Amino acid sequence: MDSNIEENLETVRKKIKVAAEKNERSAEEIKLVAVTKNVSVDRIKVAIDAGITDIGENKAQEAKKKADELKKDIVWHFIGHLQTNKVKTVIEFADLIQSVDSIKLALEINKRAKQISKVQDILVQVNIAEEATKFGIEKGEIGALLEEIGSLTNLQARGLMTIAPLIENPEKLRPFFMKMKALFENIRALNVPNINMDYLSMGMTNDFEVAIESGANMVRIGTGIFGIIRE
Ligand SMILES: *Cc1c(COP(=O)(O)O)cnc(C)c1O
């Protein structure tokens, strides 16, 4: 069972390499975040032993518990929708909060981070396909949010994140990923103080190859590593 994790990881890494090379980059330029929602600590340890350094979780309490248990040199990513009342919990363990999508949330993270003398790295989550059901900020509102974030002393913007629409054929997602890449480069070219565009986080099990081919340098993969996990 657990040997699957190692095999799956090897397959994922090979695919990352091929996709990166298509995009004239090397596999080392792509950060792999293993998404471990609903995955037990024992199975996470197998992935860590196989070289996983970055872990993504989408629920505050579950993530906090695992982070406490796994005390290792792991980089913790919070990738789920974040309610303001959970911010206090999340900033205790998260190295990178990937899901900042409102000024209200940015202000709360900044306030709580200040209280524990932390500068919190964040990504701005973009709803690139403008789906009514999705979290993330719409393109037109990003300027105002980044301006606000730029002024907050305990927040550090490190890039953008998106969750692509649920479409079976990942090829159909290419235009969305290309739009994200263009947005990322445009913001980077603005050189706004306190706004760094280091990470473009896009691509999940079903679509990470197309995302990398389009310019992603961080992918978030769950089922591709751990298999399908039921709650
Ligand atoms: C669950 C999740 C992933 C991983 O999805 P898989 O399809 O299992 O690879 C990536 N990003 C976010 C935000 C998630 O919630």
List domains and CATH numbers for the chain: 2-226 (3.20.20.10)
What is the average pLDDT across 167-180?
96
Cβ of 163 closer than 6 Å to ligand 1, yes or no, is yes
Q: Range with the lowest mean pLDDT among 19-28, 76-85, 130-139?
A: 130-139
Report the percentage of the chain scoring pLDDT > 70: 97
Q: 73: how many CB neighbours lie within 10 A of its CB?
A: 7
CB distance 75 to 95 below 8 Å: yes
Cβ of 90 closer than 6 Å to ligand 1, yes or no, is no
What is the average pLDDT across 15-28?
97
Distance 6 CA to ligand 1 centre (A): 19
Cβ of 221 closer than 6 Å to ligand 1, yes or no, is yes
What is the average pLDDT across 146-157?
96
More confident position, 229 or 208:
208
What is the average pLDDT across 27-32?
98
Residue 1 has pLDDT above 70, yes or no: no
What is the average pLDDT across 104-110?
98
Residue 10 has pLDDT above 90, yes or no: yes
Q: Taking the mean position of all CA atoms in its chain, how far away is CA 218?
A: 7
The average confidence (pLDDT) of the chain is: 95
**For position 22, what pLDDT does the model report?**
96
Q: 15: how many CB neighbours lie within 10 A of its CB?
A: 17
Cβ of 38 closer than 6 Å to ligand 1, yes or no, is no
What is the number of the ligand 1 atom nearest to the C-alpha of 206?
Answer: 7
What is the number of the ligand 1 atom nearest to the C-alpha of 226?
Answer: 8
What is the number of the ligand 1 atom nearest to the C-alpha of 99?
Answer: 13
Q: What are phi and psi of 148, to 5 degrees?
A: -65, -50
Residue 212 pLDDT level (bands cut at 50, 70, 90): very high
pLDDT digits (tens, 9 = 90+) for 193-208: 889 999 999 999 999 9
Cα distance between residue 106 and residue 154, in whole Å:
10
Distance 151 CA to ligand 1 centre (A): 31
pTM: 0.96
Bridge-based pairing state of the strands 96-100 and 218-221: unpaired
Cα distance between residue 103 and residue 116, in whole Å:
20
Long-range contacts, 200-204 (Cβ 8 Å, 24+): 200/159, 200/160, 201/33, 201/98, 201/123, 201/159, 201/160, 201/161, 201/162, 202/161, 202/162, 202/163, 202/164, 202/177, 203/164, 203/177, 204/35, 204/163, 204/164
Cβ of 136 closer than 6 Å to ligand 1, yes or no, is no
3-state secondary structure of 145: helix
3-state secondary structure of 214: coil
Q: Which residues contact 135 (CB under 8 A, 6 or more apart)?
A: 81, 99, 101, 125, 127, 163
**For position 229, what pLDDT does the model report?**
65
What is the number of the ligand 1 atom nearest to the C-alpha of 58?
Answer: 15
Cβ of 35 closer than 6 Å to ligand 1, yes or no, is yes
CB distance 55 to 36 below 8 Å: yes
DSSP state of 129: T
Residue 2 pLDDT level (bands cut at 50, 70, 90): low
CB distance 126 to 99 below 8 Å: no
Report the percentage of the chain scoring pLDDT > 90: 90
Q: Which residues contact 116 (CB under 8 A, 6 or more apart)?
A: 91, 92
Distance 204 CA to ligand 1 centre (A): 6
Distance 79 CA to ligand 1 centre (A): 8
Question: Could you tell me how many residues make up the chain?
Answer: 231
What is the average pLDDT across 148-164?
97
Distance 135 CA to ligand 1 centre (A): 14
